Amino acid sequence: MSAENSKLTIDYTGMMYSSQNPNGFLREELEGLQTSLDKAQTSLSALRETGNMDFSKLLPNMKTQLPELLAYADQAASKFENFVVLGIGGSALGPLAVHQALNHYYYNELTPENRSYRPRFYVLDNIDPVRFQELCQVLNPNKTLFNVISKSGNTSETMAQFLIVRDNLRRLCGENYAEHLVVTTDQAKGNLLPIAIKEGFKRFVIPTGIGGRFSELTPVGLLAAAICGINVEELLAGALQMDQWIRETSGVFSNPAQLKAALSYLSWQKGKNISVFMPYVDGLKTIADWYAQLWAESLGKRNNRSGQVVSLGQTPVKALGVTDQHSQVQLYTEGPDDKVITFLTLEKFKRTQEIPIDPDLPEDIQFLGGRTLDELLFAEQKATEYALTLAGRQHQKIILADLNARTLGELLLLLEWETAYMGELLDINAFDQPGVEEGKNGTYGLMGRVGYESKRQQIEEFGKEKHLLSQI
């Protein structure tokens, strides 16, 4: 399935019934979900109007901010040698995924000239003290810009990083330290906002109705992309094109988000509790990390909308073709039939690499000579699809015509809309994350935040009984 102007195709042959795939779905099964999908479309349209679907309102969200963001990005790129994102979850996974997809795979190792004099790019998405200190050791603070991303300003990990970085900058950069910090946060509230205003940090706004995992196509991700030379206008154009296709089309065999959600829902109903996302492109490897958060945090819920305990959700698994043909595919073909596999691939790579011909080589490898690496990769992917089909295992494929900003924008919006539709089919709220909050509150208590003393006491009582093994 592919729209006339889209550069993205969904090949769901491996999900459908055939003589080779007797475990596949019948067309009637997908059609049987149409009433539910129509209801979901109506509900999501209403949510879009009330502000809970702001990831689908890209143009109004970015119309006022984009010119300012692009101007600031060019200015920052000419001034700084390093750009560091301080964030976690979607604030880190989105920027990193887009960067690795669209920029040179070894971008930071390129000479400044070959990076078009754009800064090196780093993402600090964890609080391991060794990693944190080692990055600080290799960066000159006077030549580094830090982007602090937290909508609430309550994110313990990001705020801890920020406090350390700000202290270092004050000591090493003096009164100009504020020029080395740019903040992406809420427009009107949160703990980071008043600090940014008081200390004069440059600020960009995260739209109100967008959670972290849906925020890549806002300043959360667009600032990093623009500073590192990615065409964010094309990224948004592709996303808007996909958004329009999905919002203005009805029918499970016409609307890509409805089709993807229907396939996922039927798979889940038939015991496929694991969703494997497997790019066959190294540049899209981190898209699988971004997808894993999107799918897990949106759809893993204890309660449905009626408050009933349902404890549902598919577990996302990241894989990379062809690397994980040698580590995971054995399980997928012969292990439990509890997985649905989505391949992500291209019609063509932007470069090719010929394999040399050498008649003196052993006959068993001479067949490779004169072929190319992309031919080999496509052959391995097709062979894996064939093996899965023979084993009766469900699989589908998303194909991008090329890997560029426009096609990547289409892909991101498709996966976000699929997640939203899946939430409706499951009758759960795909836009909250109550299971994460308990861990956050526990951290606050253990770290001494005022008002969380009882939580600390609960955790300490909980942890009194221990079962340990250690060598004497």
pLDDT tens-digit map of 399-455: 999 999 999 999 999 999 999 999 999 999 999 988 887 888 888 888 888 888 888
Q: Is the pLDDT of residue 18 over 70?
A: yes
Quote the CA–CA distance of 6 and 404 in Å, as a whole number: 13
pLDDT-derived band at 472 (thresholds 50, 70, 90) equals low
| Domain identity same for 36 and 145 | no
Quote the CA–CA distance of 258 and 30 in Å, as a whole number: 10
Residues 6+ apart with CB under 8 A from 106: none
The structure tokens 């996909």 sit at 242
- pLDDT computed for residue 471 by the predictor: 78
pLDDT tens-digit map of 48-106: 888 778 889 887 778 889 999 999 999 999 999 999 999 999 999 999 999 999 999 99
Judge whether 319 and 288 are in contact, CB under 8 Å.
yes
Domain stop point among 178, 212, 230: 230
Quote the CA–CA distance of 180 and 169 in Å, as a whole number: 8
Please confirm, yes or no, whether 326 is among the known catalytic residues: yes
- pLDDT computed for residue 2 by the predictor: 63
| Domain identity same for 261 and 216 | no
Domain stop point among 230, 261, 281: 230
Q: What angle do CA 201, 108, 139 make, to 5 degrees?
A: 50
| Domain identity same for 93 and 183 | yes
For the chain, the domain total comes to: 2
Q: Residue 300, Cβ neighbours under 10 Å: how many?
A: 17
- pLDDT computed for residue 8 by the predictor: 96
- pLDDT computed for residue 443 by the predictor: 86
| Domain identity same for 240 and 163 | no
In a domain, 472, yes or no: no
The single residue of 104, 270, 440, 455 carrying the catalytic annotation is 440
- pLDDT computed for residue 439 by the predictor: 81
Domain stop point among 230, 265, 283: 230
- pLDDT computed for residue 104 by the predictor: 97
The single residue of 198, 326, 464, 466 carrying the catalytic annotation is 326
Q: What is the mean pLDDT of residues 28-50?
A: 95
pLDDT tens-digit map of 205-262: 998 888 899 999 999 999 999 999 999 999 999 999 999 999 999 999 999 999 999 9
Q: Is the pLDDT of residue 41 over 90?
A: yes
In a domain, 260, yes or no: yes
- Can you give the residue range of the structural domain that contains 412? 8-48+235-426
Q: Is the pLDDT of residue 4 over 80?
A: no
Terminal-residue alpha carbon distance, the chain: 63
Judge whether 227 and 82 are in contact, CB under 8 Å.
no
Judge whether 190 and 150 are in contact, CB under 8 Å.
yes
- pLDDT computed for residue 248 by the predictor: 94
| Domain identity same for 396 and 261 | yes
Judge whether 342 and 302 are in contact, CB under 8 Å.
no
Residues 6+ apart with CB under 8 A from 380: 280, 321, 322, 325
Please confirm, yes or no, whether 297 is among the known catalytic residues: yes
Quote the CA–CA distance of 11 and 148 in Å, as a whole number: 39
pLDDT-derived band at 154 (thresholds 50, 70, 90) equals confident
pLDDT-derived band at 138 (thresholds 50, 70, 90) equals very high
- Is the peptide bond preceding residue 322 cis, with omega within 30 degrees of 0? yes
| Domain identity same for 226 and 280 | no
- pLDDT computed for residue 209 by the predictor: 84
| Domain identity same for 94 and 240 | no
The single residue of 7, 99, 180, 297 carrying the catalytic annotation is 297
- pLDDT computed for residue 11 by the predictor: 98
| Domain identity same for 108 and 178 | yes
User: In CATH, what number is assigned to the domain containing residue 92?
Assistant: 3.40.50.10490
| Domain identity same for 297 and 223 | no
- pLDDT computed for residue 167 by the predictor: 96
Q: What percent of the chain has pLDDT over 70?
A: 99
- pLDDT computed for residue 3 by the predictor: 67
In a domain, 405, yes or no: yes
The structure tokens 């577990």 sit at 315
In a domain, 1, yes or no: no
Q: What is the mean pLDDT of residues 337-348?
A: 97
Quote the CA–CA distance of 100 and 50 in Å, as a whole number: 34
Q: What is the mean pLDDT of residues 195-202?
A: 96
pLDDT-derived band at 316 (thresholds 50, 70, 90) equals very high
Please confirm, yes or no, whether 99 is among the known catalytic residues: no
In a domain, 274, yes or no: yes
| Domain identity same for 187 and 265 | no
- Average pLDDT over all residues of the chain: 94
DSSP code per residue over 412-427: HHHHHHHHHHHHHHHT
In a domain, 201, yes or no: yes
| Domain identity same for 243 and 155 | no
In a domain, 3, yes or no: no
| Domain identity same for 394 and 309 | yes
In a domain, 145, yes or no: yes
